[in-house]
């Protein structure tokens, strides 16, 4: 969500089945791991509900009315009782939750009625604040905003907060049920279930850790790792050794699972008390997060949450580290895995325009190119989006408003389009390996967002899935698969790799220590078995592995965008541009973003009858497999490729 300025700086599976073509990958097999009936994948599917919305923490009634004129009638608002990370209120209205079973719903009425006065046709996405109000932090001696894993470990907090949530929903449904399309369950740091504690211990969390160990048959309950010991790892201070540091590995698993448990509990409890036509959304699953937060952030158990039959869509802001002009942005969560479970993604455009700061986008031209890039990412990936006017003033320029109006028209035109991805490159997230990583080391960043940011600059599109998705998606289209973080290769994982991945003359890209751990011991000789070269070989070095190619480099820094582009090109992947710039593409639409303008050559994978600029609606080329196009500085263009 990016609610603090410093942050910028530093369906129901039982009701809503997974689609047959999801995120460009065709489902082909059942998951080879035990899953519940609610997690089963089906070819049946409902029409995707796409939200195109305006959001602000504050009333912003004039802008709410302006967005109505721009064709945007869905409004997200936050029924908040807490203050944000900067220290002032999220919400301009009085507290609703005043005490145990004590509420001031007139404050809620005022918020909703004001928004309806600005747009009587509005449909709402209502965020429910599950964090502790100030009066409840005194009772528990912790604040769930800063210490969500501690709150989630406390049965009393769960009980009291559940009661508040149910009472709020009952009131809201009775009075405003016909105006609300979805409820978004929000808790933890920045109301995105974000954990700040970095592994800090407490009485309530220690007790929960012991119970978790007992439940999982582990004799580790009396060994409680704390923040200081979690910062150290036996292997090069990077990888925890399961022979001597199993308590650290399991503690991080517990830390992430307890937060996921809370999310799942609230969703399961809310589902029966809202009408069947409404949806539940959650901010969750951030794997591509900022430096040194991959494990402690608390989202690594995202696959279990994505599989929930009670949650319909997941939300994250565009990445923070690559949102500058020339960057490729993208989701902080693993959107391919979201789709694999038949759920949808909502892309939050919270990028600060030059109206409020010039730290990222410095000019109106930057705003135009950047906002178009973000909308293009959502459009081509078939996701919802909202324009987040955080504290107001971000979209005050008439030129920006006209652009958003045009982008809304474009979105409406393709809202039912289901064109599959054409990416031939796959980036793989590996949360299971992440538990073995000391997140304080730079390798943790490499295994999450940094490889995604580098791929953004290769001039070709790519998909992002998780390791556990391999058996259930069609991998035949992918010529390059990047596994920058797969440290853990158990016998079961070895079979998956050999059966689904290491075939078809593919190129597999590894870094640092692929397969160094089998879940029992650390053994550097395993690296050569998987990469074809000795551990710590500088690289990148390519080895023919008989049926597939391995590309390995010990230091992820050597895998620069230009190096990756050359690896990808040699693998036979189609390159849409020869420059280092972002490209998004599916079978019908293509978007290209450039920091520096000029006449650019765009290469297409085959000949098309017509190429149309979807914003200007002008034909830019006919009967062509490549064309020249004039780009401004900077610029983002979206093209329809007509067969």
CB 616 within 8 A of CB 640: no
The answer to which of 112-126, 161-175, 241-255, 319-333 has the lowest mean pLDDT is: 319-333
Return the residue matching tokens 């006449």: 599
Q: What percent of the chain has pLDDT over 90?
A: 85
pLDDT at 7 over 70: no
The CA distances from residue 250 to 19, 257, 334, 501, 619, in Å, are 34, 10, 23, 28, 57
Check residue 4 and give its pLDDT. Answer: 39
State in Å, rounded, how far the first CA of the chain is from the last one. 39
Check residue 104 and give its pLDDT. Answer: 96
Q: What is the mean pLDDT of residues 108-125?
A: 98
* pLDDT band of 85, cuts 50, 70, 90: confident
CATH top-level class of 425-570: alpha beta
Q: Quick one: which of 393, 392, 387, 390 has its CA closest to 370?
A: 387
Strands 541-544 vs 548-553: parallel, antiparallel or unpaired: antiparallel
pLDDT at 329 over 60: yes
Q: Quick one: which of 11, 35, 50, 15 has its CA closest to 472?
A: 35
* pLDDT band of 428, cuts 50, 70, 90: very high
Spatial distance between the Cα atoms of 468 and 31, rounded to a whole number of angstroms? 8
pLDDT at 36 over 80: no
Q: Quick one: which of 249, 246, 227, 218 has its CA closest to 436?
A: 249
* Predicted confidence (pLDDT) per residue in 584-620, tens digit: 999 999 999 999 999 999 999 999 999 999 999 999 9
Check residue 22 and give its pLDDT. Answer: 32
* Predicted confidence (pLDDT) per residue in 503-516, tens digit: 999 999 999 999 99
Check residue 208 and give its pLDDT. Answer: 97
* pLDDT band of 48, cuts 50, 70, 90: low
C-alpha dihedral sign at 179, 184, 186, 190: negative
Range 450-462 burial, b when 16+ CB lie within 10 A, else e: bbbbbbbbbbbbb
Q: What is the mean pLDDT of residues 539-551?
A: 96
Check residue 12 and give its pLDDT. Answer: 29
Classify residue 459 as left (phi > 0), alpha (psi -120 to 50) or beta: left
Q: What is the mean pLDDT of residues 306-317?
A: 98
Return the residue matching tokens 């009472």: 167
CB 532 within 8 A of CB 552: yes
pLDDT at 556 over 70: yes
* pLDDT band of 28, cuts 50, 70, 90: very low
Spatial distance between the Cα atoms of 236 and 18, rounded to a whole number of angstroms? 42
Q: Where are the domains of the chain?
A: 425-570, 596-642
* pLDDT band of 447, cuts 50, 70, 90: confident
pTM of the model: 0.92
Give the mean pLDDT of the chain: 91
* pLDDT band of 88, cuts 50, 70, 90: confident
Spatial distance between the Cα atoms of 151 and 131, rounded to a whole number of angstroms? 9
CB 414 within 8 A of CB 615: no
Q: What is the mean pLDDT of residues 77-82?
A: 91
Coil, strand or helix at 316: strand
* Predicted confidence (pLDDT) per residue in 476-497, tens digit: 999 999 999 999 999 999 999 9
* Predicted confidence (pLDDT) per residue in 147-201, tens digit: 999 999 999 999 999 999 999 999 999 999 999 999 999 999 999 999 999 889 9
């Amino acid at each position: 969500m990016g609610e603090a300025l410093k942050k910028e700086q530093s369906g129901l599976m039982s009701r809503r089945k997974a689609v047959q073509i999801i995120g460009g990958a065709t489902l082909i097999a059942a998951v080879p791991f035990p899953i519940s009936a609610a997690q089963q994948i089906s070819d049946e599917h409902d029409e995707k509900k796409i939200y195109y919305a305006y959001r602000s923490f504050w009333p912003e009634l004039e802008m709410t009315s302006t967005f109505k004129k721009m064709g945007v009638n869905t409004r997200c608002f936050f029924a908040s009782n807490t203050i944000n990370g900067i220290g002032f209120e999220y919400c301009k209205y009085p507290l609703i939750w005043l005490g145990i079973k004590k509420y001031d719903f007139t404050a809620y009425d005022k918020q909703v009625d004001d928004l309806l006065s600005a747009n009587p046709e509005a449909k709402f996405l209502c965020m429910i604040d599950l964090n502790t109000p100030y009066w409840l932090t005194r009772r528990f001696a912790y604040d769930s905003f800063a210490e969500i894993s501690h709150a989630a470990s406390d049965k009393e907090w769960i009980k009291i907060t559940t009661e508040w949530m149910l009472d709020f929903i009952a009131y809201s449904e009775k009075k405003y049920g016909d105006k609300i399309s979805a409820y978004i369950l929000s808790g933890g740091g920045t109301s995105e279930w974000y954990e700040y504690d970095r592994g800090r211990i407490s009485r309530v969390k220690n007790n929960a850790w012991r119970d978790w160990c007992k439940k999982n048959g582990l004799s580790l309950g009396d060994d409680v790792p704390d923040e200081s010991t979690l910062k150290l790892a036996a292997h090069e201070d990077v990888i925890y050794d399961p022979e001597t540091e199993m308590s650290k590995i399991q503690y991080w698993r517990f830390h992430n699972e307890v937060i996921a448990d809370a999310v799942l509990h609230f969703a399961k409890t809310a589902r029966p008390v809202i009408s069947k036509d409404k949806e539940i959304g959650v901010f969750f699953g951030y794997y591509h997060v900022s430096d040194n937060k991959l494990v402690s952030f608390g989202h690594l158990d995202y696959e279990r949450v994505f599989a929930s039959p009670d949650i319909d869509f997941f939300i994250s802001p565009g990445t923070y580290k690559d949102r500058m002009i020339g960057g490729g942005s993208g989701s902080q969560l693993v959107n391919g895995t979201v789709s694999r479970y038949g759920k949808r993604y909502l892309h939050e455009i919270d990028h600060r325009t030059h109206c409020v700061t010039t730290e990222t986008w410095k000019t109106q031209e930057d705003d135009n190119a950047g906002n178009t890039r973000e909308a293009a990412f959502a459009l081509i990936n078939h996701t919802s989006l909202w324009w987040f006017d955080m504290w107001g003033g971000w979209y005050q320029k008439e030129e920006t408003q006209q652009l958003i109006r045009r982008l809304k028209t474009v979105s409406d035109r393709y809202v039912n389009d289901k064109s599959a991805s054409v990416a031939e490159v796959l980036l793989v997230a590996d949360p299971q390996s992440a538990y073995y990583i000391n997140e304080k080391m730079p390798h943790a960043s490499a295994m999450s967002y940094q490889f995604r940011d580098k791929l953004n600059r290769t001039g070709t599109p790519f998909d992002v899935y998780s390791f556990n998705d391999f058996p259930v998606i069609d991998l035949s289209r992918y010529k390059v698969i990047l596994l920058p973080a797969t440290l853990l290769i158990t016998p079961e994982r070895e079979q998956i790799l050999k059966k689904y991945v290491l075939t078809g003359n593919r190129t597999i890209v590894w870094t640092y220590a692929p397969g160094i751990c089998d879940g029992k011991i650390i053994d550097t000789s395993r690296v050569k078995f998987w990469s074809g070269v000795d551990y710590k070989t500088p690289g990148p070095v390519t080895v023919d592995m008989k049926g597939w190619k391995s590309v390995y480099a010990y230091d992820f820094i050597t895998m620069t965008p230009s190096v990756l582009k050359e690896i990808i090109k040699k693998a036979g992947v189609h390159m849409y541009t020869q420059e280092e710039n972002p490209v998004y593409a599916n079978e019908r639409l293509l978007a290209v973003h450039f920091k520096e303008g000029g006449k650019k050559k765009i290469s297409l994978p085959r000949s098309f009858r017509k190429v149309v600029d979807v914003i200007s609606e002008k034909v830019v080329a006919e009967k062509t497999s490549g064309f020249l196009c004039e780009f401004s500085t900077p610029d983002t263009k979206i093209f329809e490729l007509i067969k």
